[in-house]
A and B are shown apart, each in its own frame.
Chain A
Amino acid sequence: MSVKTTAAPCLLALAVLFGTAACGGGTPAAERSGNGPRPPAGEAARGGTLAILSNQDFSHLDPTRNWTMPEMDFGLRYLYRSLVTYKAEPGPASLQIVPDLATTVGEMSDGGRTWTFTLKEGLKYEDGSPIVAADVKYNVERSFAPELPGGPNYARLVLAGGEKYRGPYRDGSLKSIETPDEKTIVFHLDRPVAEFPYYATLPTFAPVPRARDTKAQYDNRVFSSGPYKIDTYDRGRQLVLSRNEHWDPATDPVRKALPDRVVVKQGLRQSVIVDRLIADQGEDRTAVTYADVNGESFAKILTNPKVRARFHNEIRGCTDTLAMNTAKAPFDNPKFRLALQYAIDKEAYQTVKGGPASGTVATAYLPPSLSGGVPQDTLKIPPTGDVAKAKALIAESGVATPVKVTLSASTGDKGAATAIQESLKRVGVETEISTFDPSVYYDTIGDTARFDGLALYGWCQDYPSGSSFIPMLFDGRTITDKGNSGNVSLFRDRETMDRIDGIRAMTDLKAADRAWVDLDAAIMRKTPMIPLLWLRKPLLTGSKVGGAFGHLIWSGQFDYATLGVGK
């Protein structure tokens, strides 16, 4: 999923994985340099009001449209339950899946083409009515409706007959989802998908009763199957949640549902939010930040032990990269691309982004969480670059310097783009920066006719496997003319594609993980992109907030299942 945006379409059309549905994910980075995972801090008790201070509105809370990283955390932990979910524990344990609405993480048959889930007893919506299998089916069907764009497309890509189906409003029921009784739901896929239980953690697999469906307006008033329901929602201003009295904790081993009320304040200025949490006065003691702590505030936090104790920065499972259009000169020259790996000063980029507290210099595409917790380093370039080597490589490549190129970045990344600009100047590459508003940025670089030169890009894992990373970024068959995402470098490499197919055919998920790491190293030498930073999620809590830890799946955001307010 692309960084900072809704997930990009993760083209799993070619995913043919066999094997068990066991969690085969990597373990998170074993970095303990003051960063890293740590146990939930503070004491949390039942009751009170938790305030979540945000600089933005949610883009979509409708479960069929929710595909933005921390928003999935919020929706799934507070408002709706999916068939399967991730554990609410800090560190590597958070990568493990457990049953949520279902009694198991799914039963496979027909060699991975059929998946069956059985719902638990005693599941209820906010009005006390029972949650039935047909409601899960209905919401999966909604994810096909063109009227409700934005959500995960995994179901669309794998369900049999999915390519023609256009949602329940136009085409009635989808035959490949069966609900033989109120408790059972069966998915028929058009190819084997061993990773299907991971898909079933997505909000697409949460229940929506047909009678409560308000189509596009459902975004504003979700009918709750989780521990909280929406009291009021003034978009861009405030969202208030109160307890769903019909949610039965006996059916839910994951969510603790500690506070009585959750208030999300939106549209605040991020630097003001951070200042308020640092000052820790009055009601702000029971508040947390929703968005990242801005890098400018790190100095205030890290130099004050009291505040530092309330600071969290879990790794995200994301890599910031510099993408190059490998289809056009001068970036069609592999030697020249490799030279730029040596030219970039990643440390300057890291500093502009906020220093070590906001990320670790990346030396591979896969974040350490996907390479067995060990950061990989193929080229062994110093973090500040190797200008002499870069110049030598450019001379070898035959590209005449000075050479003029353009660098696209979204407006918020002005500073970061300037850092790239400065480091490339050292080797005679003159960069012109053009910035785009975040709302149009990915459309612009996803348009193969318009994207030229360099672009700041990024990718996040969707679930703990290299298969949610390498094929998305480097499989030449996924490239589309418009709305291209993932492989924005337009990297078409026969050898890479063959190896992707080979790994996908592997049945041993552990061996597959190792093979992804090897492929990562091979692609580094061809350099379609330059990895820059493995990001962290810097967050701050008030002094009376307990149970806070960053969840590895939801890009290091607090796990809302355990957040609570102390006495």
Chain B
Amino acid sequence: MTTAAPREAAAAVAAPAVRGRSPGRIAYERLRRDPAALLGLAIVTVFVVTALAAPLLAGLNGWRPETFDKSAIDQALGGVPKGDFGGIGAEHWLGVEPGNGRDVFSRIVYGARVSLLIAVAATAVTVLAGTAVGLVAGYFGGRIDTVLSRIMDLVMSFPSLIFMLALLSIAPGTDRVLLLVLIMSMFSWPYVGRIVRGQTLSVRHREFVDAARVNGAMGPHILLREILPNIAAPILVYTTLAIPANIGTEAALSFLGVGVRPPTPSWGQMIDNGLLWYQVAPTYFMIPCVCLFLTVLAFTLLGDALRDALDPKGGGR
């Protein structure tokens, strides 16, 4: 389910981006007039700024993300937050974590950092690896293409969630974030690879590529200077749609207990803890869920809008 968005994107960008007169500007104009895109952009900006400014924001609140506040919880009742709505008030803006009284606002803010960092990094690795393989396979063709395509098919046949869980549960973990990034991208790069390969195939015999070749340009130059810019649109769309998918995957892995280690906060981990409290302290469960939901929603809106804007057939879809 976590790979759904990229697949959706893959299906939708299958049509090659035909060169317009100034495709970038057309897309920009379309985006500027699209309220959904602007909303998505606004939400994404809010969360990115939140993540970047986490220490600052948590400082405003006055609570470190890992500091206990026993005065905010009822110790006789298993640590239920005191007060309504999970202890939301002037002291703790989004309430406290049941059981130990850690400040939910600070944890959300720092959690945004971890969740976004992992998702963005995993997407970057995925896109870079997929693009490289796709370009090589599509441009050189022949046996190289056959081998690379088979490898991509093979990786896509792996039951990725099972494999990620199994690897993360036994892998010796020193740097958990790096491990998560690598393992998450290990199973998603072929989705990019396939798109890029298809796109490369469709442009490699176009006149401008032949012209460059006749002028004596070498493989790397042609790949990076001639082909890559012409297939950048679908890659961009895929990237935007892969980020929310990866945010979801990171949360799912944390939820299943193989994510980042405590006391590092991440949204998935908060949801995992919060699940047990969802009746007694529903806000503690809801808040990270809503953040996750909004982020995924925003990136999807943005990605959809980008896709429509870059679609040469498009207009008002």
A touching B, CB within 8 angstroms: yes
Residues of A within 8 A of B (CB): 271, 275, 294-300, 302-303, 347-348, 350-352, 354-358, 411, 414-415, 417-419, 421-422, 433-435, 437
Q: How far is the CA of A296 from the CA of B74 in the complex (A)?
A: 12
Interface of A is mostly: helix
Shortest Cβ gap from A197 to chain B (Å):
40
- The 5 A-B residue pairs with the shortest CB-CB distance, nearest first, are A298-B78, A296-B276, A299-B77, A299-B80, A355-B78
Chosen A-B contacts, 7 in total, with CB atoms closer than 8 Å, are A296-B78, A296-B280, A298-B77, A299-B77, A351-B73, A351-B79, A356-B76
Q: Assuming A298-B77, A347-B70, A411-B257, is B100 touching A418 (CB within 8 A)?
A: yes
Interfacial residues of chain B within 19-78, with CB under 8 A of chain A in the complex: 66-68, 70, 73-78
Residues of B within 8 A of A (CB): 66-68, 70, 73-80, 98-100, 169, 257, 261-263, 273, 275-277, 279-280
Q: Assuming A355-B75, A433-B263, A437-B169, is B280 touching A300 (CB within 8 A)?
A: yes
Not counting A414-B262, A419-B100, a sample of 17 additional A-B residue pairs whose C-beta atoms are within 8 angstroms of each other reads: A295-B79, A296-B78, A299-B74, A300-B279, A300-B280, A302-B77, A302-B78, A347-B70, A351-B79, A355-B78, A411-B257, A418-B66, A418-B100, A421-B66, A422-B100, A433-B261, A435-B262
Please name the residue on chain A nearest to B74 by beta carbon: A299
Q: Are A271 and B78 in contact (CB under 8 A)?
A: no
Q: How far is the CA of A458 from the CA of B237 in the complex (A)?
A: 53
Q: Are B77 and A347 in contact (CB under 8 A)?
A: no
Between B66, B68, B261, the greatest number of chain A beta carbons within 10 A of the residue's beta carbon is seen for B68
Q: Are A351 and B263 in contact (CB under 8 A)?
A: no
Q: How far is the CA of A418 from the CA of B273 in the complex (A)?
A: 13
Q: Assuming A303-B77, A351-B79, is B262 touching A417 (CB within 8 A)?
A: yes
- Tell me which residues across on chain B come within 8 A of A295, comparing CB atoms: 78-79, 99
Q: How far is the CA of A255 from the CA of B169 in the complex (A)?
A: 43
Shortest Cβ gap from A529 to chain B (Å):
23
- Tell me which residues across on chain A come within 8 A of B77, comparing CB atoms: 298-299, 302-303, 355
Shortest Cβ gap from A88 to chain B (Å):
30
- Tell me which residues across on chain A come within 8 A of B98, comparing CB atoms: 296
- Tell me which residues across on chain A come within 8 A of B75, comparing CB atoms: 347, 350-351, 355-356
Q: How far is the CA of A300 from the CA of B78 in the complex (A)?
A: 10
Q: Are A294 and B79 in contact (CB under 8 A)?
A: no
Please name the residue on chain B nearest to A358 by beta carbon: B78
Please name the residue on chain A nearest to B263 by beta carbon: A418
Q: Are A352 and B169 in contact (CB under 8 A)?
A: no
Q: Are B261 and A435 in contact (CB under 8 A)?
A: yes
Shortest Cβ gap from B281 to chain A (Å):
8
- Tell me which residues across on chain B come within 8 A of A355, comparing CB atoms: 75-79
Q: How far is the CA of A347 from the CA of B75 in the complex (A)?
A: 9
- Tell me which residues across on chain B come within 8 A of A350, comparing CB atoms: 75
Q: How far is the CA of A300 from the CA of B279 in the complex (A)?
A: 8
Q: Are B280 and A299 in contact (CB under 8 A)?
A: yes
Between A275, A296, A414, the greatest number of chain B beta carbons within 10 A of the residue's beta carbon is seen for A296
- Tell me which residues across on chain A come within 8 A of B74, comparing CB atoms: 299
Please name the residue on chain B nearest to A298 by beta carbon: B78
Q: Are B66 and A351 in contact (CB under 8 A)?
A: no
- Tell me which residues across on chain B come within 8 A of A421, comparing CB atoms: 66, 263
Q: Are A415 and B99 in contact (CB under 8 A)?
A: yes
Between B66, B73, B99, B262, the greatest number of chain A beta carbons within 10 A of the residue's beta carbon is seen for B99
Shortest Cβ gap from B4 to chain A (Å):
25
- Tell me which residues across on chain A come within 8 A of B279, comparing CB atoms: 275, 300
- Tell me which residues across on chain B come within 8 A of A433, comparing CB atoms: 261-263
- Tell me which residues across on chain A come within 8 A of B276, comparing CB atoms: 271, 294, 296-297
**CB < 8 Å: which of B66, B76, B79 contacts A352?**
B79
Q: How far is the CA of A303 from the CA of B78 in the complex (A)?
A: 11
Please name the residue on chain A nearest to B70 by beta carbon: A348
